[in-house]
Structure 1
Amino acid sequence: MAKYAVSDAVKCRMFPSTFRGVAKEWFTNLPPGSIAKFCDFSSEFLDHFSSRTVEDLFDTRQEECETLEQYVRRYSAISTRFKELQPRVCVCAFKGGLARGEFYYELSRELACSMMEVRARAQYYILKEEIEAHKRKGERTAKVTVARERVQGKETSREHGSIQAGRFIKKKKREITPLENGE
């Protein structure tokens, strides 16, 4: 069997090509130039993605600047490693790490039975957070309108267009021309 020596630079370039989902997102958020050697890269990866005990799951907290969507995604990635746990345990650990807010209190009133239910119920609050973030920035875009209408559960149809499957479809305006010679 032939052995090939591969440089750290090649390993650092090849390893990320195998990433999908959360791992790819983590990699793209690394500061440029932060990895010098493959051993640093691999240990950084393992530190970030390997939870070895249930204690790690209960220690996962929503960061101050982290949106609900980011926390749900990060927590879901961590909790998938604990398939042997009862779903309610994962839900309780999720709620324990969740920042106090509307979604936290809603989960306190009625605890979800599974992480799938948590993700489904979180969608309303994720959209609501998105609207509030756009309001703070003073933005009035079609995306904000779509999110607001989805939160309010309204049909989205307007004089100048409609929203279908999350996309804004602009209606063509009918041009009316005056009739010549009184016709």
Structure 2
Amino acid sequence: MAIYSKNEALMCKIFPSNLEPIAMRWFDGLRVESINSFHELTQAFDSRFVTCRRVPKSVASLLSLHMQEGENLKTYSNRYWEMFNEVEGDFDEVAINTFKLGLSSEHGLRKSLTGKPVTNMRQLMDRIDKYKRVEEDQQQRKGKDKVVP
């Protein structure tokens, strides 16, 4: 479309080629001659589909995350990374600290991160993976220890 950006009529004709079915139904439902320029078309589109935009989360969202009682590390880290991926910007140091603070004070990973801090996200993820494997091994051993009558 960038090639044809000076030709508004052509831009309006090309516009629907990138639309998904719901947006295409909206486009097909526009009244004839209700749009007079490509700018008007994009404004109408933005107005109609503004609710479909993902609003980036703030760093403060990470501060609200905490490991729930009885929650395992895998579930907590999955929730954390989901939220982290919605935060815009480069906040590695904040992410490392908020992840650690979200763990219960008795969790082995929190103690490990306090005693031997990580300096980047890769190190944090490696340490999390190590502790997730430990938890999974413990869960498997508990399952084997149960005696079925």
Q: TM-score, normalised by structure 1?
A: 0.46
| Structure-2 change in CA distance of 1:67 and 1:50 (3 Å) | farther
Question: Is the contact made by 1:62 and 1:71 (CA closer than 8 Å) also made in structure 2?
Answer: yes
Tell me the CA shift for residue 71 of structure 1: 1.4
Tell me the CA shift for residue 87 of structure 1: 0.9
Could you tell me which of 109, 114, 117 is aligned with 2:120? 114
| Structure-2 change in CA distance of 1:138 and 1:82 (3 Å) | same
2:29 maps to: 3
Q: State the distance in 2 between where 1:53 and 1:64 align.
A: 25
Tell me the CA shift for residue 115 of structure 1: 2.6
Deviations 1:54-107 (A, max 9, x none): 222111011123211121122112112334243111100111101231111000
Could you tell me which of 63, 87, 95 is aligned with 1:82? 87
Q: State the distance in 2 between where 1:51 and 1:70 align.
A: 22
Could you tell me which of 102, 105, 109 is aligned with 1:103? 109
Question: Is the contact made by 2:57 and 2:83 (CA closer than 8 Å) also made in structure 1?
Answer: no
Deviations 1:37-61 (A, max 9, x none): xxxxxx9xx9xx9663322211101
Q: State the distance in 1 between where 2:140 and 2:78 align.
A: 21
Q: TM-score, normalised by structure 2?
A: 0.55
Question: Is the contact made by 1:91 and 1:118 (CA closer than 8 Å) also made in structure 2?
Answer: yes
Gaps of 5+ in 1: 5-42, 141-183
Q: State the distance in 2 between where 1:59 and 1:50 align.
A: 17
Which AA in structure 2 matches 1:78?
M
Question: Is the contact made by 2:57 and 2:87 (CA closer than 8 Å) also made in structure 1?
Answer: no
Which AA in structure 2 matches 1:54?
V
Gaps of 5+ in 2: 1-26, 31-50
| Structure-2 change in CA distance of 1:68 and 1:51 (3 Å) | farther
Question: Is the contact made by 1:72 and 1:119 (CA closer than 8 Å) also made in structure 2?
Answer: no
Q: State the distance in 2 between where 1:128 and 1:72 align.
A: 14
How many residues are paired up?
Answer: 98
The structure with the largest helix share of the pair is: 2
| Structure-2 change in CA distance of 1:113 and 1:81 (3 Å) | farther
Higher relative contact order (CA 8 A, sep 6+): 2
Q: State the distance in 2 between where 1:67 and 1:3 align.
A: 50
Q: State the distance in 1 between where 2:69 and 2:130 align.
A: 20
| Identical-residue share of aligned pairs (%) | 19
| Structure-2 change in CA distance of 1:136 and 1:51 (3 Å) | farther
| Structure-2 change in CA distance of 1:51 and 1:138 (3 Å) | farther
2:28 partner SS: coil
